[in-house]
Amino acid sequence: YEKAQKADDRAKRLSEKKGSDQKDALQEIAKARAFVADALSQSQLAHDRLSSVLESRRFAMNANAQNLFPSRWKDAEASLERTAYSVRERPEEVSDKVVDLDRRYISLEKDAVAKTHLDPARQTLEKARKEGAATYAPRSLKEAQLQFDQSLAAIRGSPRNELEVEQASKWAQQKA
């Protein structure tokens, strides 16, 4: 795209220059159009190769992962940028990177949904442990922990199923 912009700028300067041959300006316009066509083609290629990653990223964003796990988010974004660049420069090396990025964004989404919906129950369990529930109510604590673990598994298994997420969250909080 930058090459297209430069060729377009040269064409404008040539067309404004008195006594210049319009043939040179038309050549620069043709170059600019070729560069734009190439940039669009590369952009489409990157989008096609990265579509699953971009979808996983969108779901992770919807789960607020960028705010809940900023360090992991930043790392994933940097990897995404490098991978998008690699699509053009080294397309044969992109496949494994795409799978890894997809997994990273999916993991961010699951962790964000779980954190959002299960943190109150997690905090209640931690407080109960600190207050001696393991000694005074071990059976209740064990049942609450089991329900929490089951709720976590349900949420991680279906983070986009809002009904299941809400139900799992509710069960975990009730037991905690």
| 94-146 pLDDT, tens digit each | 778 888 999 999 999 999 999 999 999 999 899 999 999 888 888 988 988 99
| 9-22 pLDDT, tens digit each | 666 666 666 656 66
Q: What is the pTM of this model?
A: 0.69
Instruction: Give long-range contacts, CB 8 A cutoff, 24+ apart: 120-126.
Output: 120/173, 120/176, 121/148, 121/151, 121/169, 121/172, 121/173, 121/175, 121/176, 122/148, 122/176, 124/173, 124/176, 125/176
Non-local CB neighbours of 29 within 8 Å, separated by 6+ positions: 7, 8, 11
